[in-house]
A and B are shown apart, each in its own frame.
Chain A
Amino acid sequence: AQSVTQPDIHITVSEGASLELRCNYSYGATPYLFWYVQSPGQGLQLLLKYFSGDTLVQGIKGFEAEFKRSQSSFNLRKPSVHWSDAAEYFCAVGAGGYNKLIFGAGTRLAVHP
């Protein structure tokens, strides 16, 4: 069965520091992978997606993610975090028919000034 694991429930970084959020997936075929962000009191917004091709994907707000098939991972990165990046981040995998997405449990990011 398809599944997504986000090993880190909470992460705290200082403003200006680099960030990496981990995501591991389980899926039998070539996955479609997504990162969403949910700011406090807001709906979910798509940061980036991987369908095929270049394994390094650029997204909005300066985020990028790298697909590594050998590690079944799709980690999200940002070189310099801003206070406004404090939010909850969800990794998701496209689960085949009807375009369902299976989500991970989320990682809550706190940013210290």
Chain B
Amino acid sequence: DVKVTQSSRYLVKRTGEKVFLECVQDMDHENMFWYRQDPGLGLRLIYFSYDVKMKEKGDIPEGYSVSREKKERFSLILESASTNQTSMYLCASNPGDRGNEKLFFGSGTQLSVL
């Protein structure tokens, strides 16, 4: 089975801190995604990557950046955390071939910014 691993289940950070959320997948998938999940809003796409060092903005990229230096790892960076970034963050991946859009999700990181 595909495994998508997010390094932390819970994180508590202070306003203004730089925050790194890490995600690793073990199935050589081309595409990786970061979503945030908020009650009543569902999942919203922050950024995605379709290859090493390649990235595209999603629907809500403001306040975030990403890094993909290796195929299996996709990092989400909050340059200066703010309280409105308190949320559940979900990483996902898929193989990348057309018609194979099934996403494999990690278990999520619940980030609280105080």
A103 on the interface (CB 8 Å rule)? Answer: yes
Query: Smallest distance from the beta carbon of B27 to chain A beta carbons, Å?
Result: 14
> Which of the residues A46, A103, A106 comes within 8 Å of B102, measured between beta carbons?
A46
A57 on the interface (CB 8 Å rule)? Answer: no
- Interface contacts (Cβ under 8 Å), in number, total 55
Bound-complex Cα distance A49 to B44 (A) = 19
Bound-complex Cα distance A79 to B105 (A) = 28
> Which of the residues A49, A90, A98, A105 comes within 8 Å of B40, measured between beta carbons?
A105
B50 on the interface (CB 8 Å rule)? Answer: yes
Q: Is the CB of B50 within 8 A of A98?
A: yes
Q: Is the CB of B43 within 8 A of A100?
A: no
Q: Is the CB of A43 within 8 A of B56?
A: no
A70 on the interface (CB 8 Å rule)? Answer: no
Interface residues of A, Cβ cutoff 8 Å to B = 4, 6, 9, 32, 34, 42-44, 46, 49, 51, 90, 92, 94, 98-106
Sample of 9 A–B contacts (CB below 8 Å):
A32-B99, A32-B101, A34-B102, A42-B107, A94-B101, A99-B96, A99-B98, A100-B58, A103-B43
